[in-house]
Amino acid sequence: MLEEIVVTARKREENLFDVPVSVTAMSQSQLDRADIDNPVDLSAFVPGLNFAAANAGTDGRGSNPNIAFRGIRQQLGTPSTQVGALFRDGAYMGGGAGIVPIDDLQRVEVIKGPQTAYFGRHTFSGAINYIPRTAGEETSGKGEVSYSPSRHDSFKLAAAAGVPMSETMGIRISASYKKDGGDFEFGDGEPLNEQVTQAISGMFTVRPTEDLSLRFSGYFVDADDTYVNDSIGPTVAAGQCNRTFTGQYLNPATGVRTPFTRNLALLTFAEFCGTFPRGDNIVTPRALVPTAAISVGGDISAAFNENIFMGKYSGLPNLPDAFGGNNNTRQFQVNGDYDMGGYTFSFIASHAVTGSSYAFDQNFGLATSPLLLPRGFQT
């Protein structure tokens, strides 16, 4: 017999097979078996869902979750133009949702098709709802340790525990630290395309009366990365390449072909001389921490400080001292259900703050008049 799957896609508990909408539900045990801990991995297992990265990161990190349901995609990469949205226990998750781990949930519900009647705006094509795990009736816990050796090692440490404090109260807390090591390197040996995520979340449940139940929950996530668009420097100095190329110019109007010969030793600039870096050999000539020669005032932070509006945004992460991204998000919410005898009155109140800053070299590490262009924004 098929196991009964209870979902809350329509704001009430129902059997998945009785819900008249397209819903894909995955429990935490299913997520663990499939090694899913972020929305991008989730979209690989859910038909009709595509969660794409909206910045340099490859697993949806950054401030803008770019979600597509059944091929319907937003036109602009901003939260205000979303056609699909993420929710946590029914509360909207805007900017920063892509960096929130999904490794301690009761289940994930992916609802395809217009959901504005139940979830509000930004759900024209669908919605994803994370259902957090509560304390339960018995003390329980879980832990995860993983390690992957590579050029720059990757590992993950995660733990969660739930404790019933009485028959009417319970608390559950989870925390994780994950590092995805970069596959390539900066010129100073630091990893390129590395990601480090720290997260903590918790939920406190209480039933003051027989008819009223409350859930207080929240999370904080900080994610840093060293993603940059970069160039790979030439391997041979000017005048040191002994190669000669021959070929023909083609005049498409007349069909006339004119032979030519080029001696690369006569070039006045450095170039690859037919040898291009690949695989483990890719090393950018630029350092992760820029020197005064290629930064604004010798410090990336100086460029931020020139903007008089930056200081008032408390959600922005610490100003960067190296190339890459700094992202954080935090949210606190209260869910309540009151049984009115055959009917349930539910309410949700939430507050979220997200900050993101990204620093990169506009000239991609070139030696001619570099311009550092950092940017920051708040939602």
- Considering the domain architecture, whether residues 207 and 325 belong to the same structural domain is answered as yes
Contact 229, 108 (CB under 8 A): no
Which residues, including other chains, have CB under 8 Å from residue 6's CB and lie 6 or more apart? 13, 14, 15, 16
Pairing of strands 195-206, 191-192: unpaired
Q: Give Cα separations from 63 to 21, 78, 100 (angstroms).
A: 29, 9, 11
- Considering the domain architecture, whether residues 10 and 75 belong to the same structural domain is answered as yes
3-state DSSP assignment of residue 332: strand
Q: Where are the beta strands (DSSP E) in 116-243?
A: 126-132, 140-148, 154-164, 169-180, 184-185, 191-192, 195-206, 212-225
> Would the CA dihedral through 357, 362, 364, 366 be positive or negative?
negative
Q: Identify whether 60 is part of a domain.
A: yes
Residues 330-366: tens digit of each pLDDT: 999 999 999 988 888 999 999 988 877 777 665 544 4
Last residue of a domain, one of 103, 132, 161: 132
Give the type of residue at 68: A
- Considering the domain architecture, whether residues 27 and 111 belong to the same structural domain is answered as yes
Pairing of strands 105-112, 22-27: antiparallel
State pTM to two decimals. Answer: 0.74
- Considering the domain architecture, whether residues 76 and 221 belong to the same structural domain is answered as no
Q: Identify whether 116 is part of a domain.
A: yes
Q: How many domains does the chain have?
A: 2
Q: Identify whether 305 is part of a domain.
A: yes
Q: Identify whether 258 is part of a domain.
A: no
Last residue of a domain, one of 108, 132, 156: 132
pLDDT in tens, the chain (379 residues): 566 677 776 666 777 666 767 788 888 888 988 888 888 888 889 888 888 755 544 444 455 567 888 877 766 556 666 778 889 998 988 777 888 888 899 999 998 888 877 788 778 888 899 999 988 888 999 999 999 887 788 999 999 999 999 989 999 999 999 998 877 787 777 888 888 999 999 999 999 999 999 999 999 999 888 877 666 666 778 888 888 888 888 888 899 999 988 888 888 877 778 776 665 556 676 777 766 544 443 445 544 444 445 555 545 555 566 778 888 889 999 999 999 888 889 999 999 888 777 776 655 444 443 333 333 333 3
- Considering the domain architecture, whether residues 128 and 191 belong to the same structural domain is answered as no
Give residue for tokens 């290629």.
294
Last residue of a domain, one of 132, 157, 175: 132
The domain of 210 spans 184-225+286-378
Give the type of residue at 156: K
- Considering the domain architecture, whether residues 217 and 365 belong to the same structural domain is answered as yes
3-state DSSP assignment of residue 95: coil
- Considering the domain architecture, whether residues 106 and 190 belong to the same structural domain is answered as no
Tokens of 87: 């929710």
Give residue for tokens 């994950």.
178
Distance, CA of 201 to CA of 86 (rounded, Å): 17
- Considering the domain architecture, whether residues 192 and 128 belong to the same structural domain is answered as no
- Considering the domain architecture, whether residues 78 and 212 belong to the same structural domain is answered as no
- Considering the domain architecture, whether residues 190 and 314 belong to the same structural domain is answered as yes
- How far, rounded to the nearest angstrom, does the alpha carbon of residue 46 sit from its chain's CA centroid? 18
- Considering the domain architecture, whether residues 188 and 127 belong to the same structural domain is answered as no
How close are the terminal C-alpha atoms of the chain, in Å?
47
